[in-house]
């Protein structure tokens, strides 16, 4: 299994540009989520999904959209990038069983710089 994969690894955007961060997992996990990580603030949840066709907002959802058309993929879209969205983005997935957060796997991250 490849686990959780994220593309791209690095990206530089100009203010106002749009882009999609890709996340895929091959473990048949139902739960997937996106976090951003900024210095001194730990990880903050952006959006999450408990299964295909179902998404919900996390702590900091503004400026981001998600969709979950398949179990495997959970893309994160920035419609109009802003410098405040400069961050490292992590995608994660886990098995859906209750109390199963110990099986949560994180991707390697995408480093985004918005100029």
Partner 1 sequence: DAKTTQPTSMDCAEGRAANLPCNHSTISGNEYVYWYRQIHSQGPQYIIHGLKNNETNEMASLIITEDRKSSTLILPHATLRDTAVYYCIVLKTSYDKVIFGPGTSLSVIP
Cβ distance 72 to 25 under 8 Å?
yes
Among 11, 19, 22, 50, binds partner 1 (CB under 8 A): 50
By CB under 8 A, is residue 86 in contact with partner 1? no
> Phi then psi for 12, rounded to 5 degrees?
-115, 130
Cβ distance 114 to 18 under 8 Å?
no
By CB under 8 A, is residue 43 in contact with partner 1? yes
By CB under 8 A, is residue 52 in contact with partner 1? no
C-alpha 45/C-alpha 51 separation (Å) is 17
CB of 105 to partner 1, least distance (A): 8
C-alpha 115/C-alpha 98 separation (Å) is 41
CB of 65 to partner 1, least distance (A): 18
By CB under 8 A, is residue 41 in contact with partner 1? yes
- Which residues would be at the binding site for partner 1 (CB under 8 A)? 4, 31, 33, 35, 40-45, 48, 50, 58-59, 90, 92, 94-109
């Amino acid at each position: 299994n490849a686990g959780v994969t994220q593309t791209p690894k690095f990206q530089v955007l100009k203010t106002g540009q749009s882009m999609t961060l890709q996340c895929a997992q091959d473990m048949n996990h139902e739960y997937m989520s996106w976090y951003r990580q900024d210095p001194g603030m730990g990880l903050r949840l952006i959006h999450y999904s408990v299964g295909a066709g179902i998404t919900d907002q996390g702590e900091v959802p503004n400026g981001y959209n998600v969709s979950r058309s398949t179990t495997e993929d959970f893309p994160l879209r920035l419609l109009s990038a802003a410098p405040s969205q400069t961050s490292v983005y992590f995608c994660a997935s886990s098995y859906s069983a209750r109390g199963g957060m110990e099986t949560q796997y994180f991707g390697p991250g995408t480093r985004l710089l918005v100029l």
